[in-house]
Chain A
Amino acid sequence: MIFMEYTKEYIDRLIKRFMDAETTEEEEQVLADYFAETEDIPAEWEPYREMFVSFNTEAYGMSDKFVEDMFEEDNTADIGMSEPKEIARAIPLKPKIAWWKYTGVACAVAVICSITFMLPDSYTQQQASTDSDDSLTVTDEEIEQFLADVAGNTYKAQDMNNLLGEVKHYSGHSSYHQND
């Protein structure tokens, strides 16, 4: 028999290396063949023989059920622990705020915005009336803007008359340069 050439010492050495997971594939094959073919092995090696015989069976590996369970997409139903990513949602004590509160706030914001838009124009008017002659120069663009504002009903009729009066007044002081 081919395996007779291996001495007991050699096999013993291989077994020790096998148990330390230091054997090569070839050495493990030698052991597998030895335990498969040799009939009168020492009694103390019987566990190794059983082990090598078992390697030829389907006994090893993960059970199908276990693998199946681990691939399950939603496997958290009965685990008795909370999902770490799921943070408890806060439930508001007063879920609804009356609609008129929102409406009130919206109106207030609208009024503030309107006033802010109007401010620079009236401020300029005030500045214009108090500044020196040089600063009273009115350009074509400003006139056009004014006319556009009038057309857009930004000013009321009374304001319009007042403003037109002011324009005429400044023109009379030769501060209005007509470029045409």
Chain B
Amino acid sequence: MEKPKLIVDGKRLDGRGFEELRPIKIEVGVLKRADGSCYLEMGKNKIIAAVYGPREVHPRHLQDPSKAVIRYRYNMAPFSVEERKKPGPDRRSVEISKVSREALEPVIMKELFPRSGIDVFVEVLQADAGTRTACLNAASVALIDAGVMMKGIVTAVAVAKVDGQIVLDPMKEEDFYGEADMPVAFLIRNDQIESIALLQMDGRMTVEEVKKGIELAKKGAMEIYRMQREAVMKKYVKEEE
């Protein structure tokens, strides 16, 4: 397959500038049975996240007497991608689940819920690059909706190198044909980025480009954070009235 030109006249394939996010939609509390839930769209990504817990852990030998056990399951629906994906966990989703859980674990105040389990389930209904970051954004909101105590909120976004440019929030074509992809998640606390919770990268970038990418990711994450906040406020402020 021939690689198409990904940047034309300083604009990306979908007309975005380099530092522009795709449109985002966040809805809180969309599932009745779950303790917390969130539906999130980011461009063509459609994600639904549910949180169950703190609740009893099964099997019981997994319990930890000093803190809650966090489980995170990233799962793609078979119809979420062009060519049907075989259902169930593959190696990619096992890895994504691991690093995503490790991003949330130090943020959730696990010590407050000894012997219990907090399960975060995230389903990708439609995928268009940047699903692991979109999922983390939905998971954070669902955790808040479930009332799980956290040190702050985790907000994630990917940056990519595309036709030599560092761009924010790559979509499918940019991810596929681009030179590099770097998903990043931050802990945001008191309206400020405090630390890095997830960081991966594949492709080829100079050290300077990586640094530039992190700066751009911070900018994007702050924008997403405001939307996550707004979505939570919208649900809870209304209910109080």
Q: Do A and B bind each other?
A: no
